[in-house]
Chains A and B, each alone.
Chain A
Amino acid sequence: GENVEQHPSTLSVQEGDSAVIKCTYSDSASNYFPWYKQELGKRPQLIIDIRSNVGEKKDQRIAVTLNKTAKHFSLHITETQPEDSAVYFCAARSEGNNRLAFGKGNQVVVIP
């Protein structure tokens, strides 16, 4: 099955700087890659997703890039703010499979 790895496990950034989280996946048939943000004790919330027919997607301060050849995708957060502090999970899904394989999560801490 699909195996998703996420790096780094913890990331601290100064407010206003950029944060980048990288994920790799194993199944070349995976074609959908969502990113979720989870604050302590709350539900994971979808913040952005990308499908395999595009290489980049942007939504305000958040962007995701996908490299299908290398089988990795990254989340970019620019102009970080304290409210961006949370755990971020990447996931991948193969075509014909409705299950998501999640990475282990990345704790992002934005230092004011």
Chain B
Amino acid sequence: GAVVSQHPSWVICKSGTSVKIECRSLDFQATTMFWYRQFPKQSLMLMATSNEGSKATYEQGVEKDKFLINHASLTLSTLTVTSAHPEDSSFYICSASDSGIGRFETQYFGPGTRLLVL
């Protein structure tokens, strides 16, 4: 149980293009999903919290117009990197909580999407 998938697993794109990454909870409903970015040999940096049916909450320093998040259903959240540039190249990982209500919510991570912007 508690499986999270991500698609695509890797993507190479030209500078200026937009890239959409999907995060799905396969066997549970996730009211809340999280998007992280991880640079090589570094920790997980939270970018935003995605809430089903409402606007995402972005962390300080993360541009909401550049990283568009949509959480249209209880099993799917998408992250779109708009007008990607080489500095956006990174490992993007989502996670999902298996309970939208409650004091303790375990986060399960997707396999990540490796983005390379040329």
Q: Is the CB of B105 within 8 A of A104?
A: no
Q: Is the CB of A46 within 8 A of B93?
A: no
Interface bin, chain A: 20 to 34
A57 to chain B, nearest CB (A): 13
B41 to chain A, nearest CB (A): 8
Q: Is the CB of A32 within 8 A of B104?
A: yes
- Which chain A positions have C-beta within 8 A of B107? 34, 46, 100
State whether A45 and B44 are in contact (beta carbons under 8 Å apart), knowing that A95-B103, A98-B49 are contacts in the complex.
Answer: no
Q: Is the CB of B49 within 8 A of A34?
A: no
- In the docked arrangement, what's the CA distance between A96 and B101, Å? 10
Partner of A43 from B46, B49, B103, B109 at Cβ < 8 Å: B109
Task: Check B42 for interface membership: any CB of A closer than 8 A.
Answer: yes
Can you list, as one digit per residue, whether each of A70-112 has a CB less than 8 Å from chain B (1) or not (0)?
0000000000000000000100000110111011110000000
**Can you pick out 19 interface pairs between chain A and chain B where the beta carbons lie within 8 Å of each other?**
A32-B104, A34-B107, A36-B109, A43-B93, A43-B109, A43-B112, A46-B108, A49-B106, A51-B104, A89-B43, A89-B44, A95-B103, A96-B103, A98-B32, A99-B34, A100-B107, A102-B44, A102-B46, A105-B43
Which A residues lie at the B interface, using CB under 8 A? 31-32, 34, 36, 42-46, 49, 51, 89, 95-96, 98-100, 102-105
